[in-house]
Amino acid sequence: MKLVKILLIDDEPDILEFLEYNLLQHDFVVEKAKNGLEGIEKFKSFQPDIILIDVMMPKLNGIETCEKIKTLDNSDNCIILFLSARNEEFTQIAAYDAGAHDFINKPVKPKILIKKILAILKQKQPTTITTKNEIRVDKPKHQVYVNNEKIKLTKTQFEILFLLFTHSDIVFNREKIIKEIWGSDYYITTRNVDVQIRKIRKEIGQEKITTIKGVGYKFNSQ
């Protein structure tokens, strides 16, 4: 399961906290910015999959912020959703022209927000992941290639590799891997994670997955 990173940009602290709380309940990775300028800098370092951005903000409003973000590298695949209590047609047109994917009315209803995010993510689900460090992963077919040679992994091993592969900037501890792969309905020991990682390494190469001592595992994308 791919962890989805969401950047929240809003000048109201209460709204940031409210949105963050509800998104974290659904295992999204969340970063916050209190204005447009900070949001642009957070985009560069955080590289979110989705941005939730308020229209009316000081220093740089949401539409101006969106326009600037769209000029940055890696912004083409980022989904931008505007938050607004204003429903004027000209505001919405300006937002769509700036690169918005959709509008969410304030006050935000958490269940509707989550449903909308999940629906958009489903529509944009990638078919094949590009190559990293001589490894190519084909998600729909559950196939992995090392130096263009197909290797054999179990379903569980594939899901673990896919998780690390698609989040090569994140170190995963064993408990997080268990939650993402098996969920909370099964009793899985951390030892089981180590065994699966060892088997994956045997197939793709020891150096492809790095152990961060005392923390967890990370895919080596270089």
pLDDT of 206 reads: 92
Mark whether 11 and 119 lie in a shared domain. yes
| CA nearest neighbour of 86 among 62, 56, 116 | 56
Mark whether 93 and 179 lie in a shared domain. no
Mark whether 16 and 87 lie in a shared domain. yes
Query: Can you tell me whether residue 64 is helix, strand or coil?
Result: helix
Mark whether 83 and 26 lie in a shared domain. yes
pLDDT at 1 over 80: no
Mark whether 114 and 136 lie in a shared domain. no
pLDDT at 134 over 70: yes
10 Å CB burial of residue 165 (0-12, 13-18, 19+) is buried
Joined tokens for residue 34: 């209190």
pLDDT of 125 reads: 60
Query: Can you tell me whether residue 129 is helix, strand or coil?
Result: strand
**Domain C-terminal end among 62, 89, 123:** 123
pLDDT of 27 reads: 87
| CA nearest neighbour of 62 among 46, 87, 39, 90 | 39
pLDDT of 216 reads: 94
pLDDT of 129 reads: 59
Mark whether 119 and 10 lie in a shared domain. yes
Mark whether 139 and 73 lie in a shared domain. no
Please state, in angstroms and rounded to a whole number, the distance separating the CA atoms of residues 219 and 22. Answer: 29
The identity of residue 183, as a single letter, is G
The string of pLDDT tens digits covering residues 90-129 is 888 888 888 888 888 889 999 999 998 988 887 766 555 5
- Work out the number of other CB atoms within 10 angstroms of the CB of residue 19: 21
| Domains held by the chain: number | 2
| CA nearest neighbour of 39 among 22, 64, 19, 3 | 64
pLDDT of 62 reads: 94
| Cβ(57)–Cβ(12) below 8 Å | no
Mark whether 91 and 149 lie in a shared domain. no
Q: Which residue has the higher pLDDT, 95 or 86?
A: 95
Mark whether 11 and 118 lie in a shared domain. yes
**Domain C-terminal end among 71, 94, 123:** 123
Q: What's the domain range around 186?
A: 129-219
Give the Å distances, CA to CA, from 162 to 2, 139, 213.
Answer: 8, 8, 21
pLDDT of 128 reads: 57
pLDDT at 87 over 80: no
Query: Can you tell me whether residue 31 is helix, strand or coil?
Result: strand
Mark whether 149 and 78 lie in a shared domain. no
Q: What is the CATH number of the domain that holds 35?
A: 3.40.50.2300
Mark whether 91 and 190 lie in a shared domain. no
Please state, in angstroms and rounded to a whole number, the distance separating the CA atoms of residues 221 and 132. Answer: 5
- Work out the number of other CB atoms within 10 angstroms of the CB of residue 213: 5
Phi, psi of 190 (to 5 degrees): -65, -25
Mark whether 103 and 138 lie in a shared domain. no
- Work out the number of other CB atoms within 10 angstroms of the CB of residue 179: 15
pLDDT of 84 reads: 85
The identity of residue 27, as a single letter, is D
Phi, psi of 39 (to 5 degrees): -60, -40
pLDDT of 35 reads: 96
Q: Which residue has the higher pLDDT, 127 or 192?
A: 192
**Domain C-terminal end among 84, 103, 123:** 123
Note if the bond before 107 is cis, omega within 30 degrees: yes
What's the mean pLDDT when you consider all of the chain? 89
Q: What is the CATH number of the domain that holds 210?
A: 1.10.10.10
Q: Which residue has the higher pLDDT, 1 or 47?
A: 47
